[in-house]
Structure 1
Amino acid sequence: MKSICSSLRLEFKYMIKVLFVCHGNICRSTMAESLFTHIVTQRGLASKFEIASAGTSSEEIGNPVHHGTQSKLKEKGVAVVSHRAVQMKKSDIDYYDHIIAMDTANIINIERIVGFKSEKVAKLLSFAGSSDDVADPWYTGDFETTFKDIKMGLEGFLSTLKFLG
């Protein structure tokens, strides 16, 4: 019995590393990073996660979170994480446990960056039982729908993690 309890404690000490990815890393992936941080903090799980975001392109490197994303998160009572856009690196595939893309094009670009397909990479809405993409509000201007889709995907993702029971 003692060894089972010890191994369970070790399992709970493990930090789950999650990287959210979109095209530019100023709208969707930063919204997911901020909202996921908010959700796990509210549930007392923040110490169990390392959460970050990145883009597949270099277009926005160094730019802050998009003003529309900031506005929507503030409207929903979610703190915006301190962030400047970064581009995903090949080494991220080894570092992170989960790389969660916002759309199919992101997955194709992730595979191009890392050089292969990986079971670590998934599309966010797949965790909500959907094959849909999270629409890019940079083009749609619809940050509300993006927020709802991201929240639904994040809830689905959390439900897949075994230690949460």
Structure 2
Amino acid sequence: MQSVLFVCLGNICRSPTAEAVMLHLVEQAGLQDRIVVDSAGTGDWHIGEAPDSRARAYGARRGYDLEPLRARQVAASDFERFDHILAMDAANLRELRRQCPVALQGKVQLLMDFAPGESGSEIADPYFGGAEGFERVLDDCETACAGLLDALRTRE
């Protein structure tokens, strides 16, 4: 069993989108019994809330179901619980590394490190923008999550 936690700031746009994309890919690959997926935020503003309505709508257009997801904040136990803790951007990566015990730092990295040719890139926060931002998040998540799934398969 392998486990993945996607992390952004509020857990209402980028990380739940990544979670939904990855859940879809895992289901398509028939690996639900071998890969666990979740998402969280470094901030606590939206705990218990559904993902942003725009993230849900744009995700649904591509066949991703964000409806059942609810925001939560990263917990100290997540660093032990998850094998891969993937930040959407450098600011959240820094915060995760600040919180993460030294012995577990190797679990924390950027999601885009799994996108071919995009290592070190960020998934931009679409919250204050328009439709193009949410479409870009989906594009980036689809590319990076496909790469992540390939990487997880090679570790089995």
1:116-142 deviations in Å (ceiling 9; x for gaps): 471101101111131210011102331
Task: Name stretches of at least 5 consecutive residues in structure 2 with no aligned partner.
Answer: none
| TM-score under structure 1 length normalisation | 0.85
Q: Secondary structure at the match of 1:89?
A: coil
Structure-1 residue corresponding to 2:71:
85
RMSD: 1.7
Contact 2:85 2:108 in 1 (8 A): yes
How many equivalent residue pairs?
A: 151
Q: Is residue 147 from structure 1 mapped to residue 138 from structure 2 by the alignment?
A: yes
Contact kept, 8 Å, 1:33 with 1:81, in 2: the verdict is no
Instruction: With the length of structure 2 as denominator, give the TM-score of the two structures.
Output: 0.90
Residue equivalent to 2:148:
157
State the one-letter code of the partner of 1:40. Answer: V
Q: Pick the structure with greater CA Rg.
A: 1
What stretches of structure 1 of length at least 5 have no aligned partner? 1-14
**Greater helix share, structure number:** 1
Which residue of 2 is the match for residue 123 of structure 1?
110
* Moved >3 Å (runs of 4+): 162-165
Return the letter of the residue paired with 1:151.
Answer: E
Q: What is the alpha-carbon distance in structure 1 between the residues aligned to residue 28 and residue 153 of structure 2?
A: 19
**Higher RCO structure (Cα 8 Å, ≥6 apart):** 2
